[in-house]
């Protein structure tokens, strides 16, 4: 393996040291060389991401119990926080998707968000799920992550909404790529996420429309928020029902989305 090029290789041929300055006030050769070094070093600095990101791994285990025991998820945060594009590629290049087992998942989420439906910031949220063949799953996953850290997905959302994160789950013959956002009442966000994925992915990687599903977190059978948060959700639901019963036009804004279970 060849050795890393030294800085001198990039500054070879520059003028030697000199502390003199030309009569017209221009930088001396030594100062010009220092400027060249500084400019080179700037190109070596990490390119920061707008948000910090964390990686989570989910080893889901279904306890075999006749009494309908709850589905248990073992969520583990992996590695250190991602703060730059270089951090992302370091993580992504060292996390082979083909090593993730059946029903396991990996997530890239903004700092402060966790890939849990009942997380306080996710309670009113939802997610798109795109089913893709295993052969193309790793490529789609990398591209969707780049859409996330590059703020392309964020730009596709309603101005009052937020992207939470993205995930990949392994199934028998496919990968499920999910995109979570914070407010499932925003039809512009729901439409925007779908359009963004379809437009940004190359044609050969574009998911088939019958393999794309949207679902509110609260609509999942296993959704089980703590009592204090459930009370908030029940209050919001009652208010929505009252608006609808009063002939309000609010239900015209309820997104018409395709819903399916991907468990």
Domain ranges of the chain: 48-253
- The chain-wide mean pLDDT, for the chain, equals 81
Is the pLDDT at 80 greater than 90? The verdict is no
pLDDT score recorded for residue 67: 36
Cα 8–Cα 14–Cα 15 angle in degrees, nearest 5: 125
Position 25 scores a pLDDT of 58
Beta strands in the chain (DSSP E): 48-61, 72-84, 105-110, 126-133, 163-170, 174-181, 212-216
| 8-state DSSP, 6 | P
Q: Which residue, 207, 41, 78, 56, is CA-closest to 137?
A: 207
137 exposed, middle or buried (CB, 10 Å; 0-12, 13-18, 19+)? buried
Task: Quickly state the pLDDT bin for 17 (edges 50, 70, 90).
Answer: very low
Second CATH level (architecture) for the domain 48-253: 2-Layer Sandwich (3.30)
The predicted-structure confidence for 41-58, as pLDDT tens digits, reads as follows 566 678 999 999 999 999
- The tokens for 46 are 């990490």
In the predicted model, what is the mean pLDDT of residues 90-110? 94
Place of tokens 């009063």: 246
pTM of the model: 0.72
């Amino acid at each position: 393996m060849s050795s890393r090029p030294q800085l001198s290789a990039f500054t070879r041929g520059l003028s030697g040291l000199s502390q003199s300055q030309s009569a017209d006030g221009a930088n001396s050769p030594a100062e010009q060389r220092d400027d060249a070094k500084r400019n080179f070093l700037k190109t070596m600095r990490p390119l920061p991401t707008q948000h910090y990101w964390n990686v989570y791994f989910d080893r889901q285990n279904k306890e075999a119990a006749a009494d309908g025991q709850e589905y248990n998820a073992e969520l583990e945060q992996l590695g250190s926080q991602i703060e730059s594009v270089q951090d992302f590629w370091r993580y992504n290049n060292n996390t082979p998707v083909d090593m993730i087992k059946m029903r396991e998942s990996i997530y890239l989420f903004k700092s402060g968000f966790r890939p849990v439906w009942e997380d306080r910031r996710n309670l009113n949220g939802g997610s798109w799920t795109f089913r893709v063949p295993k052969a193309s799953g790793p490529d789609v996953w990398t591209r969707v992550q780049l859409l996330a850290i590059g703020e392309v997905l964020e730009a596709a959302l309603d101005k009052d909404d937020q992207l939470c994160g993205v995930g990949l789950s392994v199934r028998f013959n496919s990968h499920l790529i999910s995109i979570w956002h914070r407010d499932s009442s925003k039809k512009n966000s729901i439409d925007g996420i779908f359009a963004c994925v379809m437009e940004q992915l190359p044609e050969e990687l574009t998911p088939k429309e019958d393999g794309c599903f949207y679902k509110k977190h609260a609509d999942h059978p296993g959704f089980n928020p703590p009592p204090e948060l459930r009370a908030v959700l029940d209050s919001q639901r009652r208010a929505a029902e009252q608006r609808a019963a009063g002939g309000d036009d609010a239900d015209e804004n309820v997104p018409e989305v395709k819903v399916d279970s991907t468990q």
